[in-house]
Structure 1
Amino acid sequence: MTDISLQRDRLEKPTLIYPFASPPEAGKVIAIAPGVVWMRMPLPMALNHINVWGLEDDDGWAVVDTGMRTDETVAAWRDLFANANEQRPLTRVFGTHMHPDHIGLAGWLTRKFNCRLWMTQLEYLNCRVLTADTGREAPEDGVTFYHSAGWSSSAIENYQARFGNFGKYIHALPNSYRRIQDGEEIRIGANTWRVIVGTGHSPEHACLYCVDLKLLISGDQVLPRISSNVSVHPTEPDANPMRAWLESLAKIKREVPDDVLVLPSHNDCFRGLHARLHYLAASQERTLDRLRHTLKEPRRAIDVFAALFGRSIGETDGSLLNLATGESLACLNYLLHRGEAKIELDETGVARYQMR
């Protein structure tokens, strides 16, 4: 649900340029380029903010992402509307992807301004499915999934107690939406933005690239100081999102020049896109090499945390354990799909992985 990433490597990080001295305060805006403003919404977690973007449209403003459904975020939006020098409505809401910090108030804003949600199909549909789990008991498939990863009975009980929380942070989505697709060019006010879809962090994540303004709204696909969580989930235990994420990094490097200003969902606006993309890919490859070394002996998913993240993960923080397990399985599945590793279940159903 969150984008709090775990430290993957100790590679020397590239020198990025941050052209703005500080981010906007809640309820305020910073002008990024003609017709483009930066806003920031609070989050109730360690990663305590998300950046959202305003794009001047013909009859008002389009916004990209919304923040999570919380009283604090609603208050921040109300402050923005009250402080606006010109009372122009929202014309449309773009969602980069389905996570609650990005789409949590899309339903509220689209209803408030009678405008449409623009989103990729897989993100919209997956969000509808996950929000429908609110109030349900945890499925047996999920229990089996985390048991196989090596979770204790108490950790699984914690998962069962927390199951269905996803929808609590998302205002009911509109019942229809405007589908956007990879490569589509969308006119917003005076500028054209091209959709660039990435995968791995989420099913069909939309970035928006404006050639004329030299801007890339990168969402969670490229972040300057942290790395997006790439996880395997109980609904698709055999998935290979790490391959998809690495391929998406290469795709963005091919399709977007290095001279853009990157507008990420977390941290600050930055220059140095290609250096950051190279670092993220190289860091992950070194992490996979450490995992290969660790898998000389059979290991459960929870046994490889130190190799991947440089630290142990306890059971007391259920959210962090969930993120770490999902990303560990993404790395393990990557090696399985490449034929480098094998998997065996013991008599209790716990999986152990080892290099071939």
Structure 2
Amino acid sequence: MKGIHPVHLPLPFPLRIANAYLMRDEEGWTVIDTGLNYPPGQAAWHEAFARHAVDPRMIRRIVLTHAHPDHYGMAGWLQSLSGAPVALSAGEAAFARAQWHADSHAHETIATFFGAHGMPPDLMTTVAGDIAHLRVMTHPVPSTVTHLSAGEPLIIGGREFTPIATPGHSDDHLVFYCARERLLICGDAVLIKITPNVGLWGWSRGNPLAQFLASLDRLATLDVALALPGHGPPITRFQERLEELRDHHAERLEAMEHAAGSGATAYEICTAIFPLQELTSHQIRFAMAETLAHLEYLAKQGRVEAIEYADGAYSWRRCGSWSVER
């Protein structure tokens, strides 16, 4: 689309590529999402600057859909080149402070949370190390941050966009909708080749899968001809993709409910659903969080229940089933 330049940023894990976008207007350039801060990512940005004749000092704003590291990670680095403020929702800014600042212990919180749900200790240690390593690739963190609010119009690249809250993939994810051009910049709210990860983490708010499905309903009210996602190719069959995502989660919920049976840990259920032996520790972490999000959703529907033991561990069972004794 005219005036919107995608930047494909390499990632050091199987997702491989994150999409950022450069948009120009009379006042300068806006960057939407940033990638992960490590040398190949920096090289990709310098190549994009050269290709589109961008002087980084002409970047006037860095806008983030959410604060996961593959979208937030280079925000501080780009700010150091440009002096531009970083803009994201207040909730995502708070998440970034808690998760990515140098004194964060979030990696330990996640490992402990997963351990309570059956993850083996050696894998807990690996997962904590993976997250701590990712934290390094979000530094330097931005020093100047402004907050975006859903519903408050935003001019980017000469177009008027409306930020829309789409929680689920992250607690305070935003997408940006230009009604005049039927254009949506959708971050990780909707992806075409893979399903957005919807996970329950040690810090997650409430029932993330319910939030995600409600976000899909909200997005279904929009007239979208083209959606530009955070990963993968542009989406031109937007409504059809929303239906595919709903169907995927309905099937996954049935599989999770069946796997819970008369009693199993979330890790055991995760092992039954996902081919963990084929996955990296990075992928296993997301599979575990997704399993827990689906179990939480099922629990709210009265289809499964969590059993807490005296030692702080948990298992899950289908409602009406006998529990396995510990």
Q: 1:1-356 to 2 correspondence within 5 Å?
A: 32-33=1-2, 35-85=3-53, 87=55, 89-132=58-101, 136=105, 139=108, 141-236=109-204, 239-254=206-221, 256-258=222-224, 260-305=225-270, 308=273, 311-314=274-277, 317-346=280-309, 348-356=311-319
1:134 and 1:164 in contact (8 A); partners too: no
Aligned length: 318
Tell me the TM-score normalised to structure 1 length. 0.82
For residues 54 and 316 of structure 1, do their structure 2 counterparts lie closer, same or farther at Cα, with a shift above 3 Å needed?
A: closer
Matched with 2:323 is none
- What residue identity is the alignment partner of 1:183? G
Cα distance in 2 for residues equivalent to 1:146 and 1:62? 38
SS for the counterpart of 1:39 is strand
Alpha-carbon shift at residue 159 of structure 1 (Å): 3.4
Alpha-carbon shift at residue 73 of structure 1 (Å): 1.1
1:64 and 1:96 in contact (8 A); partners too: yes
2:86 and 2:146 in contact (8 A); partners too: yes
- What residue identity is the alignment partner of 2:267? I
Cα distance in 1 for residues equivalent to 2:125 and 2:158? 53
Tell me the TM-score normalised to structure 2 length. 0.90
Cα distance in 2 for residues equivalent to 1:305 and 1:344? 17
For residues 340 and 191 of structure 1, do their structure 2 counterparts lie closer, same or farther at Cα, with a shift above 3 Å needed?
A: same
Alpha-carbon shift at residue 123 of structure 1 (Å): 0.8
Cα distance in 1 for residues equivalent to 2:120 and 2:114? 9
Alpha-carbon shift at residue 339 of structure 1 (Å): 2.6
Alpha-carbon shift at residue 132 of structure 1 (Å): 2.5
**Structure with bigger RCO (C-alpha 8 Å, 6+ apart):** 1
Alpha-carbon shift at residue 229 of structure 1 (Å): 0.9
For residues 86 and 138 of structure 1, do their structure 2 counterparts lie closer, same or farther at Cα, with a shift above 3 Å needed?
A: closer
Deviates more, 1:335-344 or 1:211-220: 335-344
Alpha-carbon shift at residue 163 of structure 1 (Å): 4.8
Root mean square deviation, CA, Å: 2.3
Unaligned stretches of 5+ in structure 1?
Answer: 1-31
Cα distance in 2 for residues equivalent to 1:137 and 1:230? 18
Alpha-carbon shift at residue 38 of structure 1 (Å): 1.7
SS for the counterpart of 2:276 is coil
Cα distance in 2 for residues equivalent to 1:136 and 1:302? 22
2:62 and 2:75 in contact (8 A); partners too: yes
Unaligned stretches of 5+ in structure 2?
Answer: 320-326
Identity %, equivalent residues: 26
For residues 233 and 77 of structure 1, do their structure 2 counterparts lie closer, same or farther at Cα, with a shift above 3 Å needed?
A: same
1:150 and 1:300 in contact (8 A); partners too: yes
Deviates more, 1:183-192 or 1:197-206: 183-192
Cα distance in 1 for residues equivalent to 2:107 and 2:246? 35
Cα distance in 2 for residues equivalent to 1:345 and 1:271? 45
For residues 278 and 155 of structure 1, do their structure 2 counterparts lie closer, same or farther at Cα, with a shift above 3 Å needed?
A: same
For residues 157 and 170 of structure 1, do their structure 2 counterparts lie closer, same or farther at Cα, with a shift above 3 Å needed?
A: closer
For residues 51 and 252 of structure 1, do their structure 2 counterparts lie closer, same or farther at Cα, with a shift above 3 Å needed?
A: same
Cα distance in 1 for residues equivalent to 2:248 and 2:128? 34
For residues 75 and 94 of structure 1, do their structure 2 counterparts lie closer, same or farther at Cα, with a shift above 3 Å needed?
A: same
For residues 160 and 315 of structure 1, do their structure 2 counterparts lie closer, same or farther at Cα, with a shift above 3 Å needed?
A: farther
For residues 227 and 160 of structure 1, do their structure 2 counterparts lie closer, same or farther at Cα, with a shift above 3 Å needed?
A: closer
Deviations for 1:75-99, whole angstroms, at most 9, x for unmatched residues?
1111222333465811111111101
- Which runs of structure 1 show a deviation greater than 6 angstroms over 4 or more consecutive aligned residues? none
Cα distance in 2 for residues equivalent to 1:93 and 1:294? 43
Deviations for 1:210-268, whole angstroms, at most 9, x for unmatched residues?
122221111000000101111111234x83111111111111111x214x211111111
Cα distance in 2 for residues equivalent to 1:227 and 1:284? 9
SS for the counterpart of 1:246 is helix
Cα distance in 1 for residues equivalent to 2:157 and 2:110? 45
For residues 220 and 142 of structure 1, do their structure 2 counterparts lie closer, same or farther at Cα, with a shift above 3 Å needed?
A: closer
